[in-house]
Chains A and B, each alone.
Chain A
């Protein structure tokens, strides 16, 4: 049973509202599509535009990347729900920047500081606070939640390739998960270090970048190894799923609001199409799916903040429901826009693609429900 109320304090609300204002000013209507893909044909063939470094500097200056990090390392010391609210705004604005992946690393750093505090962990946190973008490498399969299997550490150097690494072509710091003779290890690498190569994975989603990280003898700062590394990573996964869910919720809410506005203005048979129940009921279905996901996402943030025993289940539930929302909202937004929704000139595809990219990353709905069935049906845990 979740707590009777959710933690969301004034500081969290302030950080979110500040970010909303900033993104509203920097990314006015149509700007994302125009700047990310000035030439649709080139975009179709995979031309990739780097993120705007000025936007990242502004976001970083607001202290958003270090929102979840403790005061001691220069962070804002905010609750997990603040990070979730920030991620939600990124999705709502389809913001092209490495803040989502950097927030995930901040979440990992917070768990490392708890399970395996060290100078190396503090140094990673300080780099994020000082404006470095960061990401986590370790995914092998299409599930794309990083793990310890893709990379290998031997004699102090890293080897192997991790796929589906969010923002890899942009990130200055890459936190690698790897297996070793000493068990699992977590290592922080500089993007420019010898033996680190990033190969861009060109995406359908115009608003983000992604890559394969190939390591061939790379050296970095060992952050944790063995059992503590495993524990820290298990705790950190809740951050990944919850933040990914929040980004999706934000993108879906944009799709809902934009499609609703369209239904009020687009006329057919002499009336706005929003008069028709076939349209109304689809929009309400979008709203309900989004709200279920949003509530589960903030409940997951609450579980993370309290380090509740059900935090993994709470985060998986959020990602499962957000993935359902992405599927429904991306499809319905395009469908309800009719012919114009099928064109490049209409913004809907930009957000629909971000939502779908989110749905397919870090495990989709069915995968998380399968894992939840293991947690809820096979273990003698409290059911709700």
Chain B
């Protein structure tokens, strides 16, 4: 019992074939140097340039920007990005390094930008010619994003920015930043913000300082603004509408909408690696895979992975979704907590070996450092607790705590 074929099924099939064939022919062999696990961990220029070239190749092959109109550097298709993103993921392709551009800047500019802004900025997002970072969080504005203090005021027809942004992924490599700043100091907290596209690399008054994570790795940065000039043409949407624009960005960041620019390619099934580990390592006198407790936890993770895939399928059937945001707004919370549970089990299966640095002889991949690193996911982009508040207030319509 299958549905009658839809009109665009032929196009979808042809596209899927193209993607599969291209990936078969062009999936790169890993370089001599180690690649980072995610865009957050890019450490060197060498890694960065290699990953940029990969994204550019994907864009030229029409695997990135599938659904973006041609005039903005996209490929003008409809509803095919998900197909390409899934194929990239399943092929175990390297991730797309211009993460902030694809997931946040590009959809936000497409939704709120002027025609000139779309033509100027979207192509560089897709091709990775211009790398983007996100300037939302501040030392005193994390979960409570609306209390952003970074200030922008007009002097001689030009905006001048002063402030301090933190947790800025990719800032060391970034050409541009999506920046949320306070422009109306007297206004109510949510009404006083404006959204800018701010130049970063080589721009006068901008200082980027790498932050060292609890794992000892670089990845995040803090960005200091000292009287930084930003032209009014770089303001996105109207003055005072920054909060609404930022909500568009967060909707995309948290997976509430299929990113128009591309998707985040994660390595193929980390579950496979975990099961392989359970077969390899002992627990007591027999392999861990034979331990009923280990088996139950492995199956629980597999079950949730299946359910998350089924969520995506169900989200496309409006008759099976009571509230349009109910599944999309759970995506970030569920996937990051799932990944954390996976990292935790991986560490535990390694036993005492899990406490070794990966550089130690005999150390397995992952271990305590990966597990600790997973807290980056459950804290960044709105902590799990904030996600639960948002779900309670927006989907269940419970009264706001503020």
Contact = CB atoms under 8 A, between A and B. Distances in A.
Interface string A269-294: 00110111101110111011001111
A317 B300 CA distance: 9
B299 A2 contact: no
A234 B400 CA distance: 50
B298 A377 contact: yes
Contacts of B357: none
A296 B395 CA distance: 21
For the complex, would chain A's binding face be called helix, strand, loop or mixed by DSSP majority? helix
Given A2-B309, A280-B392, A274 B303 contact: no
Interface string A172-186: 000000000000000
Contacts, number: 160
Given A274-B398, A317-B303, A281 B311 contact: no
B311 A4 contact: no
A229 B240 CA distance: 70
B385 A281 contact: yes
Given A13-B319, A260-B398, A384-B306, A377 B295 contact: yes
A296 B327 CA distance: 13
Contact of B320 (A6, A279, A321, A373): A6
Contact of B316 (A5, A271, A294): A5
A216 interface: no
Given A79-B1, A295-B314, A281 B392 contact: yes
B401 A291 contact: no
A253 to B, nearest CB: 8
A369 B301 CA distance: 11
B314 A284 contact: no
B401 A383 contact: no
Interface in A238-282: 260, 263-264, 271-272, 274-277, 279-281
**Number of contact residues on A: which range applies?**
35 or more
A296 B307 contact: yes
Nearest to A313: B306
A1 B312 CA distance: 11
A114 interface: no
Nearest to B315: A295
Nearest to A280: B392
A328 to B, nearest CB: 14
A277 B396 CA distance: 13
A1 B296 contact: no
B311 A295 contact: yes
Contacts of B8: none
Contact of A284 (B2, B303, B317, B396): B396
B395 A287 contact: yes
Contacts of B269: 383-384
B303 A287 contact: no
B288 to A, nearest CB: 11
A369 B299 CA distance: 6
Interface of B: 1-3, 82-83, 86, 90, 269, 271-272, 275, 289, 292, 295-296, 298-300, 302-314, 316-317, 319-320, 326-327, 330, 333-334, 385, 388-389, 391-393, 395-401
Interface of A: 1-9, 12-13, 79, 260, 263-264, 271-272, 274-277, 279-281, 283-285, 287-288, 291-296, 298-299, 302, 305-306, 314, 317, 320-321, 366, 369-370, 372-373, 376-377, 383-384
Given A299-B307, A384-B305, 9 more contacts: A2-B309, A260-B397, A274-B399, A281-B388, A283-B392, A296-B303, A296-B307, A317-B306, A370-B295
